[in-house]
């Protein structure tokens, strides 16, 4: 049996982890098992997972219903091409997605990952505008501080200055950016907050194919929460100027903000909707891009008469089967009550940090708790504090945040908030 030291030495020398140097890689922890809301590290220490494996493991780990769906489907077929063939797991998944999402979204394109679902959405918007004769509409509009993925189309609509992809400026297509929404849910609404958005539409409206935003919560771009009325106004402007609205709900979909989908906070329906992450309950990769009949038929009614995209693993039966099981498990349980309880516990547990000298802000919404700091944190140093306090929390830049599984217990939540407090206080004086 390979020793822990040998495994970690090979990892350090040869394996490129996300956003990590190969010259001086950040330390990693070896996970031996995962159950419920906890990860078992090599050596036997158990830590509460505050990240839901980057926000997707909403039911926790080693879930019998999801495991059973995978095993039963694997015994029938693990994969079959989706070109010219179909199968029951994909049909049943699409049936559930059409039923769950806002009624105008009737057409489902299954794809590989969240970034790919954004690529698909952008291509849908561009091909639709071409199909209806709006060939000048080749740009997108979005808010700053957004994040939509790491592939090229997705990177082009991430924040071009403050985001993670500024290195690629000059290579990526240049789109239209407006200031991020500043008013939060619950703040008194002020119509003037959308003045710059309206000016951007007035100036660029005739060349815009689509607007793409993360509704209510901007995730990896800064964990900002915004007032639902921004979405209402954006929907109105899109309709006025003939621009499609793309909602990127990869992070927010399936209950994370307290609604099944974040657009429900504003009562709006996008023309295109991106889903991923929690779709499979964190078991494997899959995503979906949904479109209205207007978009789907518009694309299909003009040459070449087909949508020009087709991933090799599109509609993968294993992923589709486990997605059905995950959706059924979510909808059959008291997820709204659980998410509301998580929000209340995070608010109560993190409030003590509001007056800390290192803290700029504490904000919570649904099953999301964020502590914004004065300065960026040193990941390995603060990470070791979290581990010592029984939690797996991975901060980025100046944010310490958690997005735990919905099934987390009160005791485990207390472990997370206590670890966050210990980590922030370990930073010392600024």
> Residue 183 gets which letter from DSSP?
P
* Nearest in space to 50 (alpha carbons), one of 375, 427, 385, 406: 406
**Packing angle between helix 114-131 and helix 293-300, nearest 10 degrees?**
60
Are residues 217 and 133 in contact, defined by beta-carbon separation less than 8 angstroms? no
> Could you say which of 61, 271, 277, 401 is catalytic?
277
* Known catalytic membership, residue 128: no
Distance separating alpha carbons of residues 362 and 53, to the nearest angstrom? 22
* Known catalytic membership, residue 19: yes
> Could you say which of 19, 42, 187, 361 is catalytic?
19
CA-based R_g, the chain, Å: 22
Long-range CB contact pairs, 75-81, < 8 A, 24+: 76/317, 77/317, 78/316, 78/317, 78/318, 79/313, 79/316, 79/317, 79/318, 80/317, 81/312
* Nearest in space to 284 (alpha carbons), one of 245, 342, 325: 325
Q: How far is CA 18 from the centre of its chain?
A: 16
> Could you say which of 61, 128, 147, 230 is catalytic?
147
Distance separating alpha carbons of residues 260 and 176, to the nearest angstrom? 29
> Residue 175 gets which letter from DSSP?
-
* Known catalytic membership, residue 277: yes
Three-state secondary structure call for residue 39: strand
Are residues 188 and 211 in contact, defined by beta-carbon separation less than 8 angstroms? no
* Nearest in space to 415 (alpha carbons), one of 392, 396, 383, 395: 392
Cβ neighbours for 198, distance < 8 A, ≥ 6 positions apart: 233, 237
> Could you say which of 112, 248, 271, 401 is catalytic?
248
* Known catalytic membership, residue 123: no
**Residues noted as catalytic:** 19, 147, 248, 277
């Amino acid at each position: 049996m390979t020793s822990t030291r040998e495994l970690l030495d090979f990892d350090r020398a040869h394996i490129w982890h996300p956003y990590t140097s190969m010259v001086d890689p950040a330390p990693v922890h070896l996970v031996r098992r995962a159950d419920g809301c906890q990860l078992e590290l090599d050596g036997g220490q158990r830590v509460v997972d505050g990240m839901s494996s980057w926000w997707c493991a909403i039911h926790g780990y080693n879930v019998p219903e999801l495991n059973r769906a995978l095993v039963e489907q694997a015994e029938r077929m693990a994969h079959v091409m989706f070109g010219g063939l179909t199968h029951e797991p994909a049909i049943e998944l699409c049936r559930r997605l059409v039923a769950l999402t806002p009624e105008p979204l009737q057409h489902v394109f299954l794809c590989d990952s969240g970034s790919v679902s954004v690529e698909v959405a952008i291509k849908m918007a561009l091909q639709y505008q071409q199909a209806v004769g709006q060939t000048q509409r080749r740009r997108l509009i979005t808010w700053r501080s957004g994040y939509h993925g790491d592939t090229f189309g997705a990177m082009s609509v991430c924040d071009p200055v403050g985001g993670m992809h500024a290195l690629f400026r000059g290579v990526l297509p240049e789109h239209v950016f407006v200031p991020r929404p500043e008013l939060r849910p619950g703040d008194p609404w002020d119509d003037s907050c959308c003045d710059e958005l309206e000016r951007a539409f007035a100036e660029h409206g005739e060349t815009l194919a689509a607007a793409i935003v993360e509704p209510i919560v901007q995730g990896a771009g800064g964990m900002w929460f915004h007032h639902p009325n921004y979405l209402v106004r954006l929907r109105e402007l899109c309709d006025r100027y003939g621009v499609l609205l793309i909602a990127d709900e990869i992070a927010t979909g399936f209950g994370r903000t307290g609604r099944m989908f974040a657009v429900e906070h504003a009562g709006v329906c996008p023309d295109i909707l991106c889903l991923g992450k929690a779709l499979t309950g964190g078991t494997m990769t899959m995503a979906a891009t949904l479109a209205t009949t207007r978009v789907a038929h518009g694309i299909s009614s003009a040459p070449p008469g087909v949508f020009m995209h087709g991933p090799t693993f599109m509609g993968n039966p294993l992923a589709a089967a486990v997605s059905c099981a995950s959706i059924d498990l979510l909808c059959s349980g008291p997820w709204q009550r659980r998410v509301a309880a998580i929000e209340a516990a995070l608010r109560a547990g993190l409030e003590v940090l509001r007056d800390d000298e290192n803290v700029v802000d504490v904000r919570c919404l649904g099953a999301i708790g964020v502590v914004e700091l004065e300065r960026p944190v040193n990941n390995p140093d603060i990470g070791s504090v979290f581990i010592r306090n029984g939690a797996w929390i991975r901060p980025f830049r100046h944010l310490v945040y958690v997005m735990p599984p919905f099934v987390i217990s009160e005791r485990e939540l207390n472990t997370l908030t206590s670890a966050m407090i210990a980590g922030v206080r370990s930073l010392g004086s600024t």
